[in-house]
Structure 1
Amino acid sequence: MEIQFQSDIGKRRQMNQDYANVFVNKQGYSLAILADGMGGHLAGDVASKMAVNGLGAVWEASEISDNEKASQWMIQQIQTENEAIYQEGIKNPEMHGMGTTIVSAALLNETFTLAHVGDSRAYYIHDGKMRQLTDDHSLVNELVKSGEITEEMAAIHPQKNVLTRSVGVSGNVEVDVTHHPVEADAYLLLCSDGLTNMVSEAEILTIVAGEEPLDGKTERLISQANEAGGSDNITVLLIHFKEVDQP
């Protein structure tokens, strides 16, 4: 298994509020996390780093090695980070209301456990096909699912960035958790909407399924988003399951 990730400020933002990292626990299992922060000056940056580093520190101290424990852990720890970010915003009025998306994958033998809140996405790519594994927690996605607007209308909707769920809110946050099997020579892509708003799924598939090294693929995805306008921060975390590890 190989993992590469890269984050870029894009062409129109003054700072990068995305953040990603990979952490390894005591059993040798990796947790990949990507967050897209939101809020005023510095606040989104603080929220995304708090979420990623907070989850990562607890993961590194854990001995989790199966899907069910990973699921329970993700729900509990994302809730902990939700409360920590909310309280940080209360203590610092200039950061009040800050929040972040999270998409995270615990990589466990021949499977992975995925948890997400918000509109950062996970895609599974194998055998020339790409499948979106996450469901955007956004206003426009709710309108699409209810049949009020089409996906084409959603792409240019003026409220396309309005989230229905994020990390950093008062009370409990609902976390979507799913388990997925892994196939040899498959890819898992975690990304912020700075990629998916700029680069089509067909273009993403062409790049990820190509022949160049994994770091070249992450760089090309970032470049494509910037060439298309780079209207937001762009973060790409790409995992290549070269072979399936048997438990």
Structure 2
Amino acid sequence: MQIEFQTSVGRKRKNNQDTVGVYFNKKGIILAIVADGMGGHQAGDTASYLAVTGLGSVWEETMLTQKSEITDWLVEHIKEENFRIFDKGSKDPDMFGMGTTIVATVIIDSEILLAHVGDSRAYLICDGEIKQLTEDHSLVNELVKSGEITQEMANVHPKRNILLRSIGVPGDIEVDISWLTFASGDYMLLCSDGLTNMLSDEEIKRIILKPTPLNDRVNQLIEKANEAGGMDNITALLIEFNDELWEDKT
């Protein structure tokens, strides 16, 4: 397995509110996370950073290997990060209203646990096809589902950034959870909407399937999103599933 990731401020933003990280627990099981923060000043930066590093640091201390335990752990700790971010935002006027999306995956044997809140996405690229694994928790997605607008209209809708679920809100939150399998030769992409708002699924697939080093493909995803306008922060984390073990080189 090989993992590469990159994040960019884009061409229109002054600061990068995305955070990305890869963490191992004490049994060597990988947790990969992308979060896209929101809020004025430095609040979005703080929210996404707290969510990613908070989950990552606790995961590194676990020895979990069982699917049911990992599922419960991930849901519980995403909810804890929600409370923690909301509490910090409530106590600091500069952080008031901050929040973040999150998409996270745990990889164990030939299976993937996927969890997400918001509109950061996960994709599986398999047998030359690309499939979106997550459902955007957004206003425009609900309009598409209800038949009020088409997907093409949603892509340019003025309210496409309005989220119906995020981390950093009062009370409990709902976390979407799923397990899926992968095979050698498959790819998984975690990304913020700064990538998917600039590039179509077909463009993303075409870049990922190029016969070039994985880090070059991640770089090209970022470059092409910037060339398309770079309207937001852009983050891409790409996993190539093969028979090799991945080791942290940082």
TM-score by length of 2: 0.97
Residues matched between the structures, number: 245
**In structure 2, how many angstroms separate the alpha carbons of the residues matched to 1:217 and 1:70?**
30
Structure 1: unaligned runs, 5 residues or longer: none
**In structure 1, how many angstroms separate the alpha carbons of the residues matched to 2:198 and 2:66?**
36
Residue in structure 2 matched with residue 154 of structure 1 by the alignment? 154
Q: Aligned to 1:13, what secondary structure does the other structure show? A: coil
Worse-superposed segment, 59-68 or 104-113 = 59-68
1:244 deviates by 8.5
**In structure 1, how many angstroms separate the alpha carbons of the residues matched to 2:136 and 2:202?**
19
Correspondence list, 1:83-162, <5 A: 83-162=83-162
Letter in 1 for 2:206: T
Q: Deviations over 1:66-102 (max 9, x none)?
A: 3222211111000000000000001101111100000
Residue in structure 1 matched with residue 57 of structure 2 by the alignment? 57
Residue in structure 1 matched with residue 248 of structure 2 by the alignment? none
Letter in 2 for 1:84: R
Q: Aligned to 1:122, what secondary structure does the other structure show? A: strand
Identical-residue share of aligned pairs (%): 53
Residue in structure 2 matched with residue 194 of structure 1 by the alignment? 194
Letter in 1 for 2:175: V
**In structure 2, how many angstroms separate the alpha carbons of the residues matched to 1:103 and 1:67?**
18
Residue in structure 2 matched with residue 73 of structure 1 by the alignment? 73
Could you say if the C-alpha distance between residues 72 and 244 of structure 1 is closer, same or farther in structure 2, counting changes exceeding 3 Å?
farther
1:38 and 2:38 aligned: yes
Residue in structure 2 matched with residue 208 of structure 1 by the alignment? 208
Structure 2: unaligned runs, 5 residues or longer: 246-250
TM-score by length of 1: 0.98
**In structure 2, how many angstroms separate the alpha carbons of the residues matched to 1:191 and 1:66?**
26
Q: Deviations over 1:177-233 (max 9, x none)?
A: 000101111101000000000011111001111101110010000000000000000
Letter in 1 for 2:9: I
Contact 1:118–1:164 at 8 Å: present in 2 too? yes
1:172 and 2:172 aligned: yes
User: Which aligned runs of 4 or more in structure 1 are off by greater than 3 angstroms?
Assistant: none
When the two chains are superposed, the root-mean-square deviation of aligned CA atoms in Å is 1.0
1:243 deviates by 2.7
Q: Aligned to 1:204, what secondary structure does the other structure show? A: helix
